[in-house]
Amino acid sequence: MIIRLGSRGSRLALTQAELAAEALRQANPGLDVALVPITTTGDRDRSKPFGEIGARGVFVKEIEEALLEGRVDVAIHSAKDMTSTATDGLAIGAFLAREDARDALCGAGELRPGMRIGTASARRKAQLLALEPRLSIEPLRGNVDTRLRKRGERGLDAVVLAAAGLDRLGLANEIGHRFDADQLVPEAGQGAVALQVRQGEEELVAFADHSETRRRVSAERACVAHIGGGCLAPVAAHHDGEALTALIAAEDGSWVERRRGDDPVALANELLAAVP
């Protein structure tokens, strides 16, 4: 039996797909797993801001289409790239054990007034400016290697990337500082890899599911879904194992609202009510 895993073609995406493949092989020795690289909308256009090429989901749409059309059997995603609501006909059959969900500052060990920092994330921009209003936040897109290279080419003081991706690529030495999750609240699902299947075929990957990661990421996704955050909305949610922290902010960092609790919907409603 051959299981085809659909994934983006970047080095990080294929590294994560291989982690998923290994989890499947461990449970089914002798299983034949094939990786199928797929180019997404977000991969094709690496210059425009996310808002100009589509909402959240620009890195998953084509992979989901391949899954629905039967061209692949399992879609492998960074959970943070997925829409917060389920796609009709599809289900998340498993989450691999989550790695470091935090954001990482690369190129410097701390934030300083006047620094030029690269990021395309409205969530990161809002929280960075709330921490230090005198920062200059510059748009920066591309895969991990590209963004690290562009930091030097453009003379930026630092870039902010997901720590988990750097760790998986063996690039932890690029990290000058890992932000505490209550300092820079991570994207819902950050650090987790999701294995998506067609509805009714969850048993194909269910044995690879890490239940604690599912519990935490499901709460984060539920909160963001209720808020209605899209890719450009400065919205964040992170469950640390004890409780959920959720955030909504102005993109310029002029106001930030955080709430912490156990009920994703209640937190979302509190945040929506607090928006100026």
Known catalytic residues are 81
DSSP state of 226: H
Any residues with CB less than 8 A from the CB of 11 and at least 6 apart, and which?
Answer: 143, 144, 145, 169
What is the CA 166 to chain-centroid distance, rounded? 13
- CA-based end-to-end distance of the chain: 56
DSSP string, 102-144: SEEEES-SS--TT-EEE---HHHHHHHHHH-TT-EEE---S-H
CB 77 within 8 Å of CB 87: no
Q: Is 32 helix (H, G, I), strand (E, B) or coil?
A: strand
CB 197 within 8 Å of CB 67: yes
**Paired strand residues for 7:** 37
Compute the distance between CA of residue 182 and CA of residue 202 in angstroms, rounded to an integer. 34
Compute the distance between CA of residue 186 and CA of residue 247 in angstroms, rounded to an integer. 9
Residue with tokens 């461990």: 26
Nearest to 162 by CA among 189, 135, 130: 189
Nearest to 5 by CA among 33, 41, 39: 33
